[in-house]
Structure 1
Amino acid sequence: MKILRFTFVLCLLAAISYGQKEPQKKIKPKRTDNYIRMKGIRLGADITRPFQDLWTKGNRYGTEFSADMELWPNLFPVFETGFDVMKIKTSYIDYKSSGSYSRIGMDYNFLQAENKNDKNIFYVGLRYGFVLARQQVNSYTIDSYWTPTTGRFSNQNYFAHWGEFLVGIKGEIIHNFYMGWTIRGKIKLNNKDLGMPPTYFIPGYGKAEKGFNLDFTYSVYYNLPWDFRKSIDRKKDAVMDKKVGKIIKKPATGK
C-alpha cells in the first residue's frame, strides 16, 4: 500500500509540474544591427494604372513608375512619377485632362528581420505629390427651354499638389523580383482656380472637387543588385592607397 501511495503522489506531482510549464513560443528576434537588408535600388511599375476606368467614372488610364532603396535600416526614400489621362465624352460634353505628376516621400518597415536574406516588408508611408496638367473642353451642350446652348473652352494649364498617407506590403516572389500593393489616402493641399470651367480632374490625385480621395495600387518590382556602399568604400580605399603611395615615394630632403 505504501508503494502504491508513493507512486500516486509522484504521478500527481509530475502532473502539477507539467501543467505549470508554459508552452514555449517562437519569438522573432528584434532588429538591433545596422546592416542594410535590401542592397541596390528597387524599380517598380504600377500594373493597375492602365485599367483605372474599371472603377472610375470616365475613361481614365495612365502609367506610373517608382524607385526606392533602404538608405537606413527600415527607412526607404521613395520617388514615384507617372502620366495620367481622363476623358469624358457624352452627348453633353467632350472633356479631356492630362498631365505628368511626381511624388516624393518615405516608407517605414514594421516587419522584423530574421536574417539578412529576409527582404519582405510591411510599411506605412508619407508622400508629397504635385502635377503640371492641362484640361480642355472641346464641346459642351446645355439644354434650355428654347434652344440648346453649345460652345467650347480653350486649353487651360494648371498646377496642383497634395499629400498622401499609405499602407502596403512588398514581398519577394523570386530572387530580386517583388510584388506588392498599397492603399492610399490623398489630401488636396491646393489647386489653381481656373474659373470657367472649374478644374474637374487632377492627374495623379483624382476628382478635384473632393478634398480627400482613396486610391489602390498594385505593382511589380525588380531590385537592381548594386551595392553602392561597397563601391563607395572601394573608391575611398583607392584614394587612401594613392595618398599613402605618394607619401612613401616622396624623397627625403636633407640640409
Structure 2
Amino acid sequence: MKIFGFILLICLLTQNSFGQEQELKKMPKRTDKFIRMQGIRLGMDVTRPFQDFWNKGSRYGTEFSADVELLPNFFPVVETGWEKFKMNHDYVSYSGSGSYTRLGCDYNFLPAEHKLDKDMLYVGLRYGFSLAKQRVSSYSFENYWEQTTGSFPSQNYHSHWLEFVLGMKGEIFENFFMGWSIRGKVMLAQKEFEMPPVYFTPGYGNATNSFNFDFTYSVYYTLPFGQK
C-alpha cells in the first residue's frame, strides 16, 4: 500500500508539472519592442555655456528640456532656454539676448531588448520661437570724405523656425541618462529693422542664415510617477 501511494503521488506531481509547462507554452510571447518610460524626463544641455568655442563672438546660455512617453515610441518634448551673444570689432560693438522655447516630438526607432531597456535612437521635429533684443553700442566706418560713428538703441524682435533632429539617449544608471543630438534649423519668419539688421537669434543662431546647423549634449533624470 505504501508503494502504491508513493507511485500515485509521483503521478499526480508529474501531471501537475506537465500541466504548468503546457500553460506557460500557451502564454503569448511579448511582441512589443517599445520603451516603457514610467515618468517625466528632465534634461539640461551642458554645451550651451561653452558655445563660444565653436561660434564667432561670445555666445553662452542655459537650456532645459522635458519629455514623456505619451504613446509607444512617441515622446512629446519641450525645450526652453536663454542665450546672450556679444561681438566686438574695431568697427562695431554688438550684443543680443533673449529667451526661446521649442515644442515638438521625438520618435524612437531603436527596439527595446528587454522590458527595462530605455535606450533611444530617435528622429524629431521642433517648432521654435524666441523673444529677444539687440543693441549696437557703437559703430564706425570710413567713407570717401570722413569717418562716421554712432550707435543704435535697444530693439526688440521675435523669430520663428523649424528644427529637424537626430539623436540618441542612453541610460547610464537607473533613471540617469546622457545623450546627444544634431539639428538642422530652418528660419520661418523674423522681424526685421532697416538699421541695423538682426544678427543673432537666441536658440537659432546666426539670424542672417536661412539654415543653421547645431548639436547638443545633455544629461537627464527621469522622475517616476507610477506604473503603466
TM-score (norm 1): 0.75
Q: Which amino acid aligns with 1:116?
A: K
Gaps of 5+ in 1: 1-29, 231-255
Task: Write out per-residue CA displacement over residues 90-117 of structure 1, whole angstroms, 9 at most, x where no aligned residue.
Answer: 2211110001000000000011112220
Q: Is the 8 A contact 1:34 1:73 kept in 2?
A: no
Please give the alpha-carbon distance, in whole angstroms, between the structure 2 residues aligned to 1:210 and 1:132: 18
**Conserved? CA contact 2:142–2:148, under 8 Å:** yes
Aligned ranges 1:31-70 → 2 under 5 Å: 32-33=31-32, 37-70=36-69
Q: Confirm or deny: 8 A CA contact 1:31 1:112 kept in the other structure.
A: no
SS at match of 1:171: strand
Larger RCO (alpha carbons 8 Å, 6+ apart): 2
* Residues 136-168 of structure 1: CA deviation (Å, up to 9, x unaligned): 001101123443210000111011000011100
Partner of 1:100: 99
Aligned residues: 200
Mark the CA change 1:123 to 1:153 in structure 2 (over 3 Å): closer, same or farther.
same
Aligned to 1:118: 117
Following superposition, the deviation at residue 54 of structure 1 comes to 0.4
Larger Rg belongs to: 1
Tell me: CA distance 1:57–1:216, structure 2 relative to 1, closer, same or farther (3 Å). Answer: same
CA distance in 1, matches of 2:217, 2:38: 22
**Using the alignment, how far apart are the partners of 1:49 and 1:119 within structure 2?**
25
Give me the CA root mean square deviation. Answer: 1.7
User: Percentage identity across aligned positions?
Assistant: 63
CA distance in 1, matches of 2:44, 2:216: 10
Number of the residue aligned with 1:136: 135
CA distance 1:201–1:35, shift in 2 (3 Å): closer
Name the structure 2 match of 1:197. Answer: 196
1:97 alignment partner AA = G
Q: Larger strand proportion, structure 1 or 2?
A: 2
Write the deviation string for residues 174-220 of structure 1: whole angstroms up to 9, x where unpaired.
11110000000000000011110011111110111111000000000
Aligned to 1:82: 81
TM-score (norm 2): 0.84
Conserved 8 A contact 1:36-1:72? no
2:221 corresponding residue in structure 1: 222
Q: Distance in 2 between matches of 1:171 and 1:222?
A: 11
Residue type at the aligned position of 1:194: F
Q: Gaps spanning 5+ residues in structure 2: where?
A: 1-28
